[in-house]
Amino acid sequence: MSDRTPLMAGNWKMNLNHLEAIAHVQKLAFALAEKDYEAVEVAVLPPFTDLRSVQTLVDGDKLKIKYGAQDISAHDSGAYTGEISGPMLSKLKCTYVAIGHSERRQYHAETDEICNGKVKAAFRNDLTPILCVGEGLDIRKAGQQVPYTLAQLDGALEDVPAEQAETIVIAYEPVWAIGTGEVATPEDAQEVCGAIRGRLAELYSQELADKVRIQYGGSVKSGNVAAIMAQPDVDGALIGGAALDADEFVKIVRFRD
């Protein structure tokens, strides 16, 4: 077993307003016990408008739940209407920021080059990127999932130095498994997560690759998480739909029980 602490992160997407966010995080806080946080790191990625509420709750109650944003601007300030910058997120004491989620790539035309700029913006502002990569169904059917995903990784990590890259989190999320109920088999997840670790070793070093946490994401639920987490190169999960149900999310966090 590796000594990487698993990271279970809930991506709320565009769900829960700031009042609902407070109720949800309170439920998580009541349900999670000290030992849960020792076993895994728990994070939530709420919409931007919820972050201040979540911060206040977490600060006030000394909760161990970490939080972050679902996106970041590649720029630190300026005339970029509607965008949210790294300095704004770090001021809110975010730990994480998701970058290159497939919904951003699909609906907002985010390329690997754009993701690279966002990864750099995150590191510049002391935020840990959760870089999302993964293939669509056509690529999977063509058997090209590994080269496709590694090309996304290469693009997003261009000119990112080792001292930053060693703290990144990579989320392997096959697009065909996101929100579809179609979960990748544990072997499918291992194949690509293992290849990602191999590429990190080539790009940087084996030592660095062994430190990086690689999550699987795509229809993770309490019923399938343990088998996925049993894979040697899977170090956590990025959870969408199931993260909106506090009881279910807690069961996922307790995958070892």
Residue nearest ligand PEP, CB atom distance: 240
Residue count, binding to ligand PEP (CB under 6 A): 14
Which amino acid, 204? Y
Known binding residue 219? Answer is: yes
**Does residue 163 carry a catalytic annotation?**
no
Query: Is 77 within 8 Å of 67 (Cβ atoms)?
Result: no
- For residue 102, give the nearest of 110, 92, 94 by alpha carbon: 110
Supply the minimum distance, in Å, between the C-beta of residue 60 and ligand PEP.
28
Q: Which is nearer to ligand PEP, 117 or 218 (CB)?
A: 218
Where is 202: in which H helix or E strand?
A: helix 186-203
Nearest approach in angstroms of CB 100 to ligand PEP is 11
CA angle 226, 230, 234 (to 5 degrees): 105
Return the residue of 168, 178, 196, 229 that touches ligand PEP, per CB under 6 A.
178
Residue 217 interacting with ligand PEP (CB under 6 A): yes
Which residues have CB under 8 Å from 159's CB, separation 6+?
A: 116, 120
The whole-angstrom separation of Cα 38 and Cα 207 is: 24
| Residue 151 identity | A
116 is in an annotated binding site: no
Q: Closest approach of Cβ 206 to ligand PEP, in Å?
A: 28
| CA gap 176, 102 in Å, rounded | 10
11 is in an annotated binding site: yes
Per the annotation, the verdict on 24 as an active-site residue is no
Output DSSP code: residue 66.
E
145 Cα distance to chain centroid: 19
For residues 4-23, which are near ligand PEP according to CB under 6 A? 11, 13
List the interface residues with ligand PEP, window 115-174 (CB under 6 A). Answer: 173
**Contact residues: ligand PEP, CB under 6 A:** 11, 13, 173, 178-179, 217-220, 238-242
Q: What residues are designated binding site for substrate?
A: 11-13, 179, 219, 240-241
Active site amino acids: 101, 173
